[in-house]
Each structure stands twice: as C-alpha cells, then as structure tokens.
Amino acid sequence: MRETWVVGAASNRYGKMAESGREAATRVALEAIDVSGIDPKRIGYTFVSNAFGVAERQAHLGPLINTALGIPEVPSATIESACSSSSAGLHEAFVHIAGGFLDAALVVGVEKLSHLDTLQATSYFAMGADAAFETRNGATFPGLYATLAHAHRQKYGTTSEELGAIAVKNHANAAKNPHAHFQKPISLDTYLHSPIIASPLRLYDCCPFSDGAAALVVAAKDVMRSPSAEPLVVRASARSGSVAGMQDRPDLTGLPATRTAASAAFRQAGVGPEKIDFLEVHDCFTVAEVMALEDLGFYPKGAAAAAGRNGETALDGTLPVNSSGGLKAKGHPVSATGAGQVVEIFEQFNHRAGARQVPKTEWALAHNVGATGGSCSVHIFSHR
C-alpha cells in the first residue's frame, strides 16, 4: 500500500455564499491545487460531494468543476453519504491512491442552501433520515439528535450546562477562525436563554444551515516528493455503517458506526486515542460532540460532557476538540463538512491557525458522521 498524503487543502468562509455552489467549489479546488503545488494535469480523478445539489437544480457537478479547472478530461463521480459525503470522497481518494490505481485526486465538497427558508432547509436536512419511518412520524434532524440527547441525559445525567459549555467553547473557537460562519463568542447565559428547538436541545445546541465549500488534493508520497506545504500523512482512512434507524439500535446513547469506524482506524494507524493531540469531531449538535468523544474512545461513556465543562477540550486543554469551531459554530455546509475538517487539521499542521493554533500537532483525527450514524468516517493523520 502506497503512503498517501493530503498535500493541499482550502475552504471558503462558511455562511451565506453569494455565488453558486459550482463557482465556490471550483474556486476552493483551484486554491487547494495552488497550495499543494501539484501540476493539475497529474490529478487522475475528482470526487465531488454535493448532497443537496438539487436545491440549486444542478447535478453532475464534477465535469463542470473539472472543465473550469482546465482539466476536462479528468473523470469524476459524485459521492453522497449525507453529512459525511466529502470524508467519504477522501476515503475513495485514499483507497484509489494507496491501492495504486491513481497517483493523485481532488476531493471537493460543496453545499448551498441559504436561498431556502428555514422550513425548506429543515426539510432538506431531514432527507438524510428515513423518510418512511422517521420523517413520516414527525422527526426533524434536530428531533432525532434530541431523542439521542434525551436518552443520554436519562442514562448519564448529562446537563444543559454541560451541553452549553460545548456550545460556548465552539463559538469561542469559531470567533478565532476567519472561515467560520459564526464570528461571535456566546455566554452560557445566552445559551441557557435560547429557545428550545427540539427538547432538550436549544437553538445554541444546533449547528447552523451553512453554505460552504472545501477541497483537498490527495497524492501518493512518491508523486509529491517536495510538496509546497507540510502534508498530512493519512495513517488511517476507515468507514463504517450501522442500522440506519435508531429505533432498531439497542443503544441510544451513542453511534455504533463511530465505534466501529474508530476501532478500524486505530487498528490501521497502529496507535490508540492517547496518541492523538487534537481532533475535529462531528458536532452537528452539542450532544453529538459528547457522544463522539465517548464512542471514539477518548472518554468512558458518560464522562465526556463533564470533561468539556472542565475545559479539557478547549484550545488550551489537554485534548483540544473542534479548534475550527466545529459544525456547531464554524458551520455545517453538509457536503463540505468532512473535507472542511481536514482543512482545519492541515492549517494546524502548517501552523497557520492563528489565534486558535493548538500547541501540539503530531497526530490528529477527523470524525464525520452521515445523518444519525448510518455512515461514519474516521481519518487519522500524522506528520511525515
């Protein structure tokens, strides 16, 4: 298996894009190519993610992006895995390059939903759930995670103040990230007085509907002998699935796909959680960060919420989590999110994260979930 690197990474500012998804995706792809220093002609495939492209009445985005990049002959495919779409794209790039089928690939994720109203956007997000057995029975996306939050609180006593501490931490990190959707810190008091969206989750427990685009250039080590920036060595690229509907899972306090993907990733990398210096996890809702840290093996079940409240996961804590601001505050442009997490790790590895720079960047992990855990990606990176 060939050693595989992420050699270029770029994203735009998440939030509300004036331009189309097509334009934004092409722009960040070009920036990632320039960061990497790769000759675009060496790119052998473009993996595009744009789960809700239909909202812009545009499908088959790959050839449009490649044409606008001046590489129209490069093949492309759209990779859809709900909120984990572009991390699934990264996995595809890794498998092809590590396996010797490609030398280099482009991974692009983009989403634009800001032209829809809240009701329409809520309905689009719910499309990641089971339309017949969840959405038909009144589930919204916040409602599904709220049900998990309810179960977690019931079993472990997770409090609103603990969930609020995660929101406060991630907003503080986002305020130091010029690419984040939210640029203002919030107080615990603001959190506690925000309206209930789906009990027990409040407005500030929920990620925003964000537009955004992110791109990665992935290449074999032997192709990129002298990369322009410090590359991320892909030590593990693992994907897992689980029973799609939470009604058919025995445990409602975590996501089984996270546990199986993490187990496979740590096995691939040959390290355990104690080796990881910082990580980006899928915090579409505050409770999702709690469950992720427990399911990934960083904390025992029931212990992650208190760790967050105690500051262990802050930028200056023992395990910085979501230095970017996470989905919660950096934003969640569905198909860009997974690649965007890797952009943050790339910035941290290259010491370009400014005020949110974490102190130690030898090993990092990215965790990206599709919907309520029907899909999950875990990637582990290190320096050369």
Partner 1 sequence: MSETSLPLHSIAAYRRGYEEEHRLLGFRSACGFVTATWSLACPRCGARDLTEAELASTGRLVAFSVQTVPSDEFLNDAPYAYVLVDLDGGGRVTGWIPGIGAESELSVGGRVRFSPSYKPGVQFARISDGGSTP
Task: List alpha helices for 211-332, DSSP H.
Answer: 256-269, 286-295, 304-309, 326-329
Please tell me whether residue 146 binds partner 1 under the rule CB under 8 A. Answer: yes
What are the structure tokens assigned to 223, written together?
């192709």
- Minimal distance in Å, beta carbon 249 to partner 1? 9
Provide the minimum distance between the beta carbon of 180 and partner 1 in the complex, in angstroms, as a whole number.
23
* Catalytic-role residue among 96, 171, 181, 332: 332
- Closer to partner 1 by CB, 231 or 374: give it: 374
The C-alpha torsion from 180 through 185 and 190 to 194, rounded to 10°, is 0
Name the minimum Å distance from CB 198 to partner 1: 5
Q: Which of residues 149-178 bind partner 1 (CB under 8 A)?
A: 149-151, 154
Tell me: does residue 119 bind partner 1 (CB under 8 A).
Answer: yes
Locate 346 and state its tokens: 């790339």
Considering the complex, state which of residue 138 and residue 359 has its C-beta at the smaller distance from partner 1.
138
Q: Roughly what angle, to the nearest 10 degrees, separates helices 85-98 and 337-349?
A: 60
| Distance from C-alpha of 40 to C-alpha of 52, rounded to nearest angstrom | 27
Build a one-symbol-per-residue string for 16-55: x at contacts with partner 1 by CB under 8 A, - elsewhere. Answer: ----------------------------------------
> DSSP letters of 80-137?
-BTBTHHHHHHHHHHHHHHTTS-SEEEEEEEE--TTS-HHHHHHHHHTTS-TTTTGGG
379 is catalytic: no
Q: What is the DSSP letter of 230?
A: P
Work out which of 246, 315, 321, 334 binds partner 1, going by CB under 8 A.
Answer: 246
Say if CB 81 and CB 374 are below 8 A apart: no
Q: Report the residue from 20, 122, 194, 357 that binds partner 1 according to the rule CB under 8 A.
A: 122
Interaction with partner 1 in 200-219: which residues (CB under 8 A)? 200-201
Q: Rounded to whole angstroms, how far apart are CA atoms 269 and 306? A: 28
DSSP H helices in 220-285: 256-269
Catalytic residue among 83, 206, 207, 284: 83
* Binding piece for partner 1, criterion CB under 8 A, among 44-52, 56-64, 89-97, 146-154: 146-154
120 in contact with partner 1 (CB under 8 A) = yes
357 binding partner 1? (CB under 8 A): no
User: Which CA distances in Å does 382 have to 103, 262, 361?
Assistant: 20, 16, 8
* Residue 181 annotated among the catalytic residues of the structure: no
Collapsed DSSP state (helix, strand, coil) of residue 217: strand
CA angle 267, 268, 273 (to 5 degrees): 55
Q: Which distant-in-sequence residues (6+ apart) come within 8 Å of 54 by Cβ? A: none
Binding segment toward partner 1, per CB under 8 A, in 1-9, 118-126, 256-264, 341-349: 118-126
In whole angstroms, give the CA distance from residue 384 to residue 109: 26
C-alpha span between 311 and 261 (Å, rounded): 27
Which CB atom, from 247 or from 310, has the smaller least distance to partner 1?
Answer: 247
Closest distance to partner 1 from the beta carbon of 91 (Å):
23
Least gap, CB of 149 to partner 1 (angstroms): 8
Q: Does the footprint of partner 1 cover residue 347 (CB under 8 A)?
A: no
Positions marked catalytic: 83, 332
Give the interface with partner 1 as residue ranges (CB under 8 A): 118-120, 122-123, 126, 130, 132-140, 142-144, 146-151, 154, 195-201, 243, 245-248, 252
